[in-house]
Structure 1
Amino acid sequence: MSCNITNTTNSSCRVDTLEGLAYCPVFLLGFFVNAAALRAFFAKRDSWTDTHIYMLNLVIADSALIVFIPLRIYNAFFCLPTSFLCTFLLFSHYINMYASILTTTAISVQRYLFIGFPLQARSWRKKKEVALAVCLILWGFLVTLGFIFREDNYPEKLWTCYERCKNIPLHLEFIVIMVVCGYLAPLLSIGFCSSRIISILLKEDDMAEEKKRTIGIVTANLIVFIACYTPIHISFIVNYKVPLNWQFEISPEHVYLQVAEWVASTNCCFDSVSYYFLLKRFYPN
């Protein structure tokens, strides 16, 4: 099936100008924040723990998403031709987004185990090896999914470089995997771990300032996760369920998807800041 909507470059670029302007601060802030985080991590590479490995993986995922944003900004103003470069950019964007989501989930679980079972957690061996294996497995899982569903974003199925044709929905299996494995399961895991961490810390008699900050950071991380990733997954479902027989280039669903993608991209600016301070305050070694 091919795209049955004529792509009029001028109107597409005109509409996407706002998108290009919106991504500029995301790129600038995300670039400097993640660069600072990478510098901080490698400055203490001789004393890394399993938490540092998860954190580095998170920063790599966010940084890989950030470095391709200039091409999205360029496309918004000048319109890149639909080609296999666009296919790569789309898969790169979402693979790195879900790598960030899954790594955030792993950090949340690891943090809960560390706080909920401190004696057992400190006695566990090969924690670094386990962390490295988890990171490699999640990247392998995401790249494999990208390879299996690679044809969904081939050039003939793209309306513009960053947008699929409206008359060609994604495979239902792909939608289910993204929503269930990429959002609902991580959300439930992070929600459970965060609530347990907060509950454990609140029950302790000594509520030091450090523990209050930890509760604040854990709460903020959960709120940011929900705020950043809920809209885009709602958009996936809406765009699959709503009949796509639009006669106009821009529909409410189209605008919502663009805004949701931008909101999801802003998460790469928050990750490094929040987890860096948590790492510094709660995992001093």
Structure 2
Amino acid sequence: MTTLNCSFVEVDHLMKYLELVFYVPIFLLGVVLNVLALLLFCVFLSKWTEATIYMTNLVFMDLLLLFPLPFKMHAASNKWAAHHRGFCSFLESLYFVGMYGSIYTITCISVDRWLAICYPFRAKRLRSPAAALGTCVAVWVAMVAAISPIYGFREAIDGDFHCFHGFSKKAWRPAVIVCLEVLGFLWPALVLVCCSTQTIWTLDRSGQQSPKSRACVRVIYSSLFAFLAPFTPSHLAILLQFLVHQGVIQDCKTKTRVSLFLQMAMCLSNITCCLDAVCYYFIAREVRSPKRVRSLRLTVTERLRSTSEM
């Protein structure tokens, strides 16, 4: 690939091998962990709670993200015929629905936990398995609607092409990138960090330092890590690549570095399929001990009430 006499051949050649190094273990480990998690939530945990519904939805989002990876690996070193353009757009849409669906599902889990711990009385009215299921359906509808414009991001030209690469200028319009960065990452990240911080603060304020409280804090930190570690570098790289397309970054050497950073960050963002397994582990332990969860909520409520009355 060349742009205004700036060659990206070395970057593309390097990424052919790096994508295999990243994607093969991510795909194999991700499939195994998510299938096991699906069996755990659907077979071994008999009661459907808000937590199991959200986590099951996250499993499906992760599997949707994993499904296109073999095609993505093939497209890295092979051009596809022009008549496969529609199938390529379909795979790209699945990939981004899975990615941003995971982002919003993790955010919903954080909000649900914040509501349960910080506002236990209000949570009795607002939280229910039916409400959790409705929220998951809304996330699916919103993600499909938001990603549907991707079918118009490929130029209608004849000849072979590289799938998952070479989006048209439509994909790099300011309105598209602003929506992607703000609604796709910054807003969910802000909600996640605020809810997590307030939940941890509420637990500390309650003075409850039991294993139940520590387990809840571990879930919160694992959710934060599973969100920020894979998605922060990728969205920073998208912003930098946008600056390249806008002509803000013009130095050829800098452009090649941004291209390499973008492709590596997008590869690493798929590790969320494996990091979510940490959340599955802690959530499963919590769901298997519902009495412990209720006890934690009651203790936090009583401590907060007594503190406010002092």
TM-score class, shorter-chain normalisation, is 0.7 to 0.9
Gaps of 5+ in 1: none
Match of 2:234 in 1: 232
Which residue of the other structure, out of 179, 183, 190, is the alignment partner of 2:185?
183
Percent identity among equivalent residues? 27
In the other structure, the counterpart of 1:76 is: 76
Contact 2:11 2:260 in 1 (8 A): no
- Are 2:35 and 1:30 equivalent residues in the alignment? no
Computed over aligned residues only, the root mean square deviation of the Cα atoms, in angstroms, reads 3.2
Partner of 2:149: 148
Which moves more between the two structures, 7-16 or 123-132? 7-16
Distance 2:21 2:79 in 1: 14
1:86-235 equivalence runs, <5 A? 86-121=88-123, 123-124=124-125, 127-153=128-154, 156=157, 160-165=162-167, 170-235=172-237
Preserved contact between residue 20 and residue 77 of structure 1 (Cα < 8 Å): no
User: Is the alpha carbon distance of 1:195 and 1:187 closer, same or farther for their aligned partners in structure 2, counting shifts above 3 Å?
Assistant: same
The code of the aligned residue for 1:270 comes to: L
Distance 1:132 1:168, change over 3 A: closer
Question: What secondary structure sits across from 1:160 in the alignment?
Answer: coil
State the 1:247 CA deviation: 7.8
Q: TM-score, normalised by structure 2?
A: 0.79
| Structure 1, 153-162 or 70-79: larger mean CA deviation | 153-162
1:127-183 per-position Cα deviation (integer Å, ceiling 9, x unaligned): 222212211112111211222342013564996211125866522222111111111
Distance in 2 between residues matched to 1:10 and 1:230, nearest whole Å = 25
Q: For residues 112 and 187 of structure 2, what CA distance do their matches in structure 1 show?
A: 16
Seen in structure 2, the aligned counterparts of structure 1 residues 155 and 224 have a Cα distance that, compared at 3 Å, is farther
* SS at 1:47 equivalent: coil
Check 1:189–1:283 CA distance in 2 against 1; reply closer, same or farther (3 A cut).
Answer: farther
Residue deviations 1:204-230 (CA, integer Å, cap 9, x gap): 333112321321331232133222111
Aligned-pair distance for 1:259?
0.8
Give the whole-Å Cα distance in 2 for the aligned partners of 1:197 and 1:67.
34
The change in CA–CA distance for 1:125 and 1:109 in structure 2 (over 3 A counts) is: closer
Q: Which residue of 1 aligns with 2:274?
A: 269
CA–CA separation in structure 2 for the residues paired with 1:155 and 1:19: 27
Q: Which has the larger radius of gyration?
A: 2
Structure 2 stretches of 5 or more lacking a match? 291-310
Cα 1:206–1:282 shift into 2, 3 Å = farther
Number of residues paired by the alignment?
A: 281
